[in-house]
Amino acid sequence: MAINIENTKRRVVPRWQEFRRALSSGELDPEECLQADRLPPDSIILKKKQEWEDNRTLLFATDLVGAAYVMGQDDLAQEAAHFILDAGQKASPAALSVAKKVLHLPPSEEEEESPIETPKKQIIYGNIRKLKARRIEQPRNAFVWCDLARLYTILGLQEQASKTMQIALGLAPQNRYVLRSAARLKLHLNEPDSAHRLLRRADNVKNDPWLLAAEIATSSVLDKTSRLIKVGFALANNESIDPFHLSELSSALASVELWNGKNKMARRLFNKSLKKPNDNTLAQAAWATNYLTVDALSKESVNQVHAFEAISLMSYFEGNWADSLEASRAWTQEEPYSRRPPIQISFLMSEIFEDYAGSIDVINNALRIIPKDPTLLNNLAFALVNQGDVESAQKAINCIDILNSPLTTKICITATAGLIKYRSGHPDKGKELYSKAIQVASKESLSQLKCRAMIYLAREELSTRGLSADSYRQAAIQEGKRLNDPAINVLIQRLEKADFRKVSK
């Protein structure tokens, strides 16, 4: 059976936006962070200021302004910011945006719009050429290197992305944007230990709510509780900090409380995270509604922020499949490096719309960026076998590192392997694998996975005219109606209509 993103925990790991979008979102604004605890100008910024004063070129002005702004030392970069604005089109759009931030000037209309472009290959390669040219002009601009690493990641060029990000870290090892981007890349590369270490060792992690939120979320990826939880609660309760800057921290803490069974505290923190949310915290709150009520979450707030992941999840839980699919596609444009959007799209296309060819296309495109991802490979196998290509489906399953896959993924892989056995003429082995998936899901109290495995087992038994097919069907229907899950309801309705003598595959 296919896997959707709701089978696993969602964490508030950092979004990896291009620098200009992160800047325009307000995520990099330093003004609202704790003034009393802010670190003094470090030797790196003072060195950049001295280099600007010695050289007075656009390169050194951009270098100083970027570092000073994100570290909250605008006063050190006033003259350099004016120099950048005077340079006009000779300066990069990102440099002009930061200079205006430093001087507290409003952004232009173009900067405010910050449109999302379709990440087609020709556009990406064109942007890479532009960034490489800027890299030559501004070799010490860590943000250029970060943006370049992001584009390499979108293309699936993992080694180039990693090397490029290391240069960015070398240039700005304590920069909030660089640290969060680097941590997100390491998570993408399946290096959660390295991502956590990077954040844990950041000088300002205890005082910067954005870094602290990322550290707590990354700890949870490792199935560990952060040692900075108490620090996080203290910071989240500091009323002198603007709620926007506490949004991800409150959401990360809420998630920990939810997983610990403290629903009342989790609900309070989720509601707090939505006072001034970003798209990440809206998505986390939407995910959490599968487990508890989040009063402050509304469609109005989600639509205002254009939080496509949140829209996808909310539409999914409401059974609005077309809206969920459309939002998931838009979400892919925002996070083209992420595995989660194509997982959700492939699930919807396969299990809800039965568009197996479309699902296969989506997955194959995603596998170029995220090769050997077990969830995507499972969904590929599911779509292939339903399209009648049993041999290719088996090859996809064989490519999965099952031993190191999450438990929920293992259950789905086992069920999909059972489906392949049925379709290849081995119903006894197929029933054995489905039964194993059902048993493990039941033992782990994964009721949705258990029910879906029961539904697909019943479908195959009906197809092969098994002697106990109708009893399997009745058991699956009874289990499904007890859960009242919108996606399972779709499968149950199909199962109820299935002809015992002839089942369409």
Q: What is the CATH number of the domain that holds 483?
A: 1.25.40.10
The pLDDT, as a whole number, for residue 70 is 61
305 found inside a domain = no
- pLDDT at 23 > cutoff 70: yes
Whether the predicted pLDDT of 282 surpasses 70: yes
Integer-rounded Cα Rg, in Å, for the chain is: 25
Q: Which amino acid is at 505?
A: K
pLDDT at site 504: 43
Q: What is the pTM of this model?
A: 0.82
> What mean pLDDT is predicted for residues 268-286?
95
The answer to whether residues 365 and 341 touch, using CB atoms and an 8 Å cutoff, is no
In a domain, 477, yes or no: yes
- The total number of structural domains in the chain stands at 1
Query: pLDDT tens digits, residue range 396-415?
Result: 999 999 998 989 999 999 99
How does the average pLDDT of the chain come out, rounded? 89
Q: Find the length of the chain.
A: 505
pLDDT at 147 over 80: yes
Which is more confidently placed, 217 or 467?
A: 217
Mean pLDDT of all residues in 86-111: 78
> What is the predicted pLDDT for the residue at 235?
96
Q: Looking at the domain assignment, is residue 155 inside a domain?
A: no
**CA distances, 11 to each of 215, 268, 493, 499 (Å):** 11, 18, 33, 42
d(CA 300, CA 312): 14
The reply to whether 239 falls in a domain is no
End-to-end CA gap in the chain: 14
| Percent of the chain clearing pLDDT 90 (strictly above) | 66
Residue 123 sits at the vertex; the CA angle it makes with 120 and 125, to the nearest 5 degrees, is 105
pLDDT at 367 over 50: yes
Mean pLDDT of 475-501: 89
pLDDT band at 420 (very low <50, low <70, confident <90, very high): very high
**For residue 397, what are the CA distances in angstroms to 121, 382, 451?**
28, 9, 22
Mean pLDDT throughout 185-205?
A: 96
Rounded Cα gap, residues 125 and 237, in angstroms: 45
CB within 8 Å of 440: residues ≥ 6 apart: 407, 410, 411, 414
**H-state helical runs in 297-389:** 299-305, 308-318, 321-334, 340-347, 356-369, 374-386
Predicted confidence at residue 119, as pLDDT, reads 55
Percent of the chain predicted with pLDDT > 70: 92
Quick one: tokens of 151? 């584009």
pLDDT of 117: 44
Is 6 within the bounds of a domain? no
Structural domain boundaries, residue 377: 339-497
Q: What tokens were used for 138?
A: 């501004």
Domain assignment present for 355: yes
Say what the pLDDT of residue 479 is: 95
Q: 39-43, 246-250, 351-355: which range is least confident on average?
A: 39-43
The whole-angstrom separation of Cα 346 and Cα 366 is 10
pLDDT (mean) for 295-312: 87
**Cα–Cα distance for residue pair 28/5, rounded to 1 Å:** 29
pLDDT for 395 beyond 70? yes
Dist CA 395 CA 449 (whole Å): 23
Task: Name the least confident of 83-97, 248-262, 446-460.
Answer: 83-97
What is the average pLDDT across 425-447? 96
**Token pair for residue 341?**
């959007």
Q: What is the pLDDT of residue 31?
A: 47
Secondary structure, 3-state, 71-103: CCCHHHCHHHHHHHHHHHHHCCHHHHHHHHHHC
What is the separation of C-alpha 480 from the centre of its chain, rounded to a whole number of angstroms? 29
- pLDDT at residue 42, rounded to an integer: 58
How sure is the predictor about 349, in pLDDT bands with cuts at 50, 70 and 90? very high
Question: How far is Cα 41 from Cα 343, in angstroms, rounded to an integer?
Answer: 44
The pLDDT of 220-224, averaged and rounded, is 94
Closest to 305 (Cα-Cα) out of 329, 326, 275: 275
